[in-house]
Structure 1
């Protein structure tokens, strides 16, 4: 399996990220922008479901989900490029693996919460608040694990 990750690092994309002066900073900047969009909007959804800005109907924030999807696509593409730049080390990095695991959990919980906002009656129940709180906590852990990647070898 290690040979496969080394092969990814030796692709033109992997070499662009790891061996040029601008490759890594450019992709990391796009990753930060995408993360700001998807996590920011997800936090906005969660906070609204938890009762912040209660005068705004839950269904009124549904259109922002499309923008969050666009942010996720930017993150997926830039994150893939960053992974190619050092695939062999990231594949064994517990912070990276934890981030990916928490990302999957965060996306699933956020999607469930958004379904409530878009297709629900607009009424927020205690179960919705628990879902939103859990989604918010999972995003916090996703970001923390993402930040730890650079410090865990």
Structure 2
């Protein structure tokens, strides 16, 4: 998967994800890549009113990237095959906000979600500490305000090739 700079000022960069197993890790068997991502949530999700969607910024582990082509379908009103590139993310439980401007911590990973890969904003770091909680917690390090945002560039010709691995 080629990734270009948001302003398309050069060749760009790439994200590589690997499953590096650590059998002693209490947070699952692997830690591939820690990222900041965005999604939308209904501000009034507990009320039965008209939805009011708001942007949420959160952090989690990018487990893998999946590229699928949906075939034509009259039932689902898909007129031509279309490539969708999706990100499988395990959320850092309660780690929502902007760690570049406020302290954000978490103690465990939560549920797994699947979002469009364009929801992935940047890489982030994390440090395990026992400074506040005796049982320990992860503190997120986000310096993304000083760098360019990622922009995923999917070439048109790749959308027509069935079964091609994009990685």
The question of a shared fold, defined as TM-score above 0.5 by the shorter chain, is answered with no
Q: Which has the higher contact order (CA 8 A, sep 6+)?
A: 1
